[in-house]
Homo-oligomer: A and B are copies of this chain.
Amino acid sequence: MTTALKGNAVIGQSGGPTCVINQTLVGAIEAIGRMPQVGKFLGARHGVRGIINERFVALDDVPPDTLEAVANTPAAALGSTRDKADQAYCEKIFRVFEKHNIRYFFYIGGNDSSETAHIVNDLAKQAGYELRTFHIPKTIDNDLLVTDHCPGYGSAARFVASALMGDDRDSASLPGVKIDVIMGRHAGWLTAATALGRRDETCGPHLIYLPERKISEEQMLGDIDDVVARLGRCVVAVSEGIVDETGTAWAETISQNVERDAFGNLQLSGSGALGDHIGNLVKAKLKSRVRNDSENLPLSGATRIRADTFGYLQRSFPGYASAVDQAEARLAGRKAVEFAMSGDTDGSVAFQRTGNGKDYGVSCILANLADVAGGTKTMPDEFLADNGHDITDAFREYALPLVGGLPKIGRLT
């Protein structure tokens, strides 16, 4: 039995928010309330930036009904940040931690954020400051190492899978070529989830392009042409991060005004440029090849070419989160606190799957911060179809339990 480390605790939220990042926050708040060794529990406004500016919110006495409402609200209730904590930044953090006797640091974030936590933790160790640092994963991209999946992914996956179920019916109503651009910088997890609601091979998305597989403009146009010839229409799900045959991101080639964030990441979302580019390609190069036969439905409609970029709705749409994702995100927050109080340890909370299908479940383990920090987990080959534009049943089996149910679609034809 270790001696309990007494002191205050701070929690922050970082990176792109999700629909359940506040479930994790509330899970931690609820758990820490039961820990006598913790004095004050402070919420940092806008992550590490709130720490260095000493912008804190007291989390000790938030009424339970407020907590419950916050848990069900998308985005970061404490505010988020894109700041990366370098050496100098972390020294500021230490001074604040010392000043406020902060001994427990919980940081909810993605892979950029786990790296931040790792740096802060290492600097604390070097400085001989006894600090227990815990990264709690969140990302709709599902691209963190070690963990089976990431809190936030299931809800975003539910959103895009549902969206494509409706969009496919919309496309069947007014046939044409429809391009849907989905978030996911380096990994195709979220774009792959667009397929989860398909029930037969006539259902869209008919083509799925992920960053894990190079795709040339020529190949994509040929694929679309084939689907239109077969079905008279084509719904395409494209990751914002797709790369061409040379390995260059399509978005990079397209963008004349490249904006990068503090981590050097290209701005992919918040712009319709990639979707419009693909739509224009189809219009220019494929339209002439599409039959326009007014007597022969639905091919006649296939000259209708549209592109949607789903954008921030994927991570922020309220009232439609996955119940599984919500419960797991809450669990991750609670477990981080329990790990923190269990002894002299630090790390990143990770899920291990304990069963699948009807027996689906997870347990929480503690991963090394170094094993999670900065790394990206792309989709394994077993989840990617050989044809280069689809997912496999193995992926479906992996992802379906996470979305917590999908709407029922009815058809007359």
> Measuring CB to CB, which residues of chain A are less than 8 angstroms from any residue of chain B?
13, 16-17, 19, 22, 43, 45-46, 49-50, 53, 55, 57, 59, 62, 66-82, 162-163, 165-167, 169-170, 172-174, 178, 257, 269-273, 275-276, 279-280, 283, 294-295, 297-298, 300-301, 305-313, 315-320, 406-413
- Which residues of B have CB within 8 Å of A272? 271-273, 275-276, 307, 309
**In the bound complex, do residue A45 and residue B413 qualify as a contact, i.e. CB atoms below 8 Å apart?**
yes
Out of B69, B306, B313, which one reaches A312, CB within 8 Å? Answer: B306
- Which residues of B have CB within 8 Å of A301? 46
Closest Cβ of chain B to A73, distance in Å, is 5
Out of B22, B77, B300, B407, which one reaches A319, CB within 8 Å? Answer: B407
Copies of this protein in the assembly total 2
Closest Cβ of chain B to A316, distance in Å, is 4
- Which residues of B have CB within 8 Å of A406? 319
**In the bound complex, do residue A306 and residue B269 qualify as a contact, i.e. CB atoms below 8 Å apart?**
yes
If over half of A's interface residues share one DSSP class (helix, strand or loop), that class is named, otherwise mixed; here it is: loop
**In the bound complex, do residue A408 and residue B166 qualify as a contact, i.e. CB atoms below 8 Å apart?**
no
- Which residues of B have CB within 8 Å of A76? 173-174
Q: A270-B279, A306-B269 are in contact. Are A170 and B412 (CB under 8 A)?
A: no
Q: A74-B169, A174-B16, A312-B170 are in contact. Are A413 and B57 (CB under 8 A)?
A: yes
**In the bound complex, do residue B295 and residue A408 qualify as a contact, i.e. CB atoms below 8 Å apart?**
no
Please list 23 pairs of residues, one from A and one from B, whose beta carbons are closer than 8 Å in the complex, sorted by A's number: A16-B174, A46-B297, A49-B294, A55-B297, A69-B408, A70-B411, A70-B412, A75-B166, A75-B172, A79-B172, A79-B297, A162-B317, A162-B320, A163-B316, A163-B317, A169-B316, A270-B305, A270-B306, A271-B275, A272-B309, A308-B311, A309-B311, A320-B320
